[in-house]
Amino acid sequence: MIRRAAVALAVAAVALGATIALRAERIVAGEDASVRVEVAIAPDVALGDLEATWRARLRGHPLTIELAGSGEPGLVVEVRVGGVRRSDAERVARALDQRGSLAFRWVAADTEVARAWYARFRDGVRPGGVRAEIDHWSGPDGSTDDYYLRGDDRQAVLDALARDAADLPVSPDLELMFEDIQPPDDDRSRSPYVRTYLVERATILTQADVAEASIGVDPYTSRPQVQLDFTRAGGRAFGEATASRTGAKLAIVRDDVVASAPVVMSAIPGGRAVVTMSVGSPQAQRDEAEALVASLGGGGDAAPLPAGLRARVVAIDDEPSPPWLPRLVIALGAGLLAWLLVPVLARRGCLAARLR
């Protein structure tokens, strides 16, 4: 009787070990998924160039690419990305359509055309919320006044310039750019708006000078930020450029939008720079940081994508575990439990029989 009980307990222990092992295998290996993304592209875009950039950005993940159909005005490509977590599906989609262009360019402050715009638009608010304002900052060599326009969106500003300042064009060596300003998430009294920058066309660094990008946290504000590690040549050029223009604003331009424009207080050696995220909710800031890191994931090997790509997640499929993995885990777990428990239970059964 006792021997039968011992055997039953041993069998139960082996079954329990197998169950625990199988559950552990599912927990460890069940996170991986295959994400299917449809990307709309223009008909003149070279699919081979896209594939090279996608593989650089999603290095380490298997990709399969095939033509899904055609639409207006171009083609639809289905990209299947394997070995990702389900929660990272949207990040994968952003890596497939974010342009990934990055440029460091000097802000041209207190220009003649900016002063002329200010004089023309300072008398009130135009349609689209367009009005003139003054930007003031202090640097190591004194203070600077700059003039800019703001509006509800960039099209409103462009329409106002075309309507009321067509005789005040931007000089060929400068470019009109915009920054999207998001009010704090807890301030519902303010609405998002855009502001203008006049930026020098000469570029100091681009995404090709970035060796690595990673997400960090600003120690003072706890906001997400992206740390850029430049190549050796890029770091040297960045240090020399910042040493020559202390007190000026440096526009960090991502996908043709000014992400931020900090004042350079001193030379920045060491081959590193930090991009702070625009004001908004913590989740929006995190999403913005992840999008930038994803688009720069290949460093200098990842060329910018063409403008106008649109990606959307169409399916997330769980990836089956390799067939040998659960069997191996179960066999090891069950064997270990049996090796530990069966001899002990058998000895107890024999001892109990002798005592009878």
Q: Could you tell me where the DSSP H helices lie in 30-175?
A: 47-57, 89-97, 112-121, 154-164
Q: Which residues of the chain have pLDDT under 70?
A: 1-31, 71-72, 184-189, 278-280, 297-302, 320-356
pLDDT at 17: 54
Tokens 């070990």 belong to residue:
17
3-state secondary structure 333-350: HHHHHHHHHHHHHHHHHH
pLDDT at 126: 95
pLDDT at 351: 42
pLDDT at 329: 61
Instruction: Give dist(CA 74, CA 53) in Å, integer.
Output: 19
Reference 252, options 231, 233, 225; nearest CA is: 225
Instruction: Give dist(CA 171, CA 148) in Å, integer.
Output: 16
pLDDT at 94: 86
C-alpha distances out from residue 77 to 33, 42, 45, 266, Å: 19, 11, 12, 47
pLDDT at 30: 46
pLDDT at 26: 45
Buried b / exposed e along 222-246 (16+ C-beta atoms within 10 A):
ebbbbebbbbeebbebbbebbeeee
pTM over 0.75: no
Question: Which backbone phi and psi does 25 adopt, to 5 degrees?
Answer: -65, -40
pLDDT at 194: 96
Position 231, amino acid = T
C-alpha distances out from residue 44 to 33, 56, 101, 194, 306, Å: 32, 22, 19, 32, 10
pLDDT at 174: 97
Cross-strand bridge partners of residue 84: 33
Q: Is the dihedral of CA 313, 318, 324, 330 positive or negative?
A: positive
